[in-house]
Chain A
Amino acid sequence: MGATQHPQHPELADTPALVNSLLNQVDQLITTQKLGQPLVIGIHTGGVWLAKVIAEHLHAPFGQLDIAFYRDDFSKNGLHPQVSPSSLPFNINDRHLLLVDDVLMTGRTVRAAMNELFDFGRPASIKLVTLCSVNQRELPIQADACALTLDLEVGQYLQLDGPETLKLSIIERANHE
């Protein structure tokens, strides 16, 4: 049911431009916040694709998180049927981290990801990097770098397709929750 033409959000038509804008913001963030050599960590799955692009741009080490074991909706929705292992091939203690997700919406995924990160160690800082922020926050969590902020109608959500070509689009959910 995915409709890709959304005249009210023309920026969505050009995902590569959004990614470039995000890379610029990340460069700025690293400079202004004096992050030195941050580690880049993507949240499964869209965040991982995006994190790879950022890590290549920065020549930085890259890791990935699957937050399935840390979600707050286990009682409601159970265990996600496809869990893929988290992989942080480095020590995060006292390091600056760039936590990357494709879309920031309620903030619950980011909360779960931060809980998981702290089970790996105690980072010096975590900065949140997201391609797009949707104004539906349920927790006090904001992005430090974000290429686009938008409002969505009820029943709409954003989806990043990839990984070869990254393409962000609005999907209409068939059944509203």
Chain B
Amino acid sequence: MTKLGVFDLEVRYGKVPALGGVTLHLQEGERLFVSGPNGAGKSSLLKAIAGAVSSSHGRVELDGDIITGKSAEAIARYGLSMVPEGRDIFSTLTVEENLRVGTGIRADKQAIEGDIAEIYDAFPILGERRHANAGALSGGQQQMLAIGRGLMTNPKLMMVDEPSLGLAPNIVDQVYDTLVALQKERGLTLLIVEQSSARAARVGGRMVLLRGGQVVGDGDASEFAERDLLKEAYFGQADQSKSTEQVQ
């Protein structure tokens, strides 16, 4: 069953086009990676789907309902959650308050407490520091908190923008392990922005390649990884996604 349908979606910032007619579909329970160089429109795609920026053309369907043009707070109520690039933790709020911001749209009090306990289970460090200011957490801990906070709205579809950005490789492993485990357990549909095809292939899933605001490739993440590996073998470290991973 189609969870998310994006049809010919366009985003412009003033006169500058950021997304030039993107069409893609996501099945329920699927895991889709979105990759591409900087400025390809990955973040704009996520923001437009979530209602954080408005699209100039096209439409977005979630479970068959058209959500284009609705506000971000309305779209959250449809069961879509976004973990933005740079995480956007509320640094003046405590860890637990961060988790609770998104629970206003839920009425199931007991399930909320259960979810918080589960997040502390998955990320014990968050439980230990639940009353600490979130601004004092390390980058990796903030990423975990951002994912936990994204889950607290009880989403069916979660979009995570570059979870690996700025994190040490072993922390990235931990973040992905948890994402995969959560997906299995909750039947989540996941859309993840990931620069590294190798990383995406290791986690497993479908991959869409964006360039210049358009979809230029769609296939299994492992196919992209092989191609990138070949390119690297012939041309050295020219591949952009590889070099970003190393820098970070």
Whether A associates with B in a native complex is no
Q: Which A residues lie at the B interface, using CB under 8 A?
A: none
Q: Which B residues lie at the A interface, using CB under 8 A?
A: none
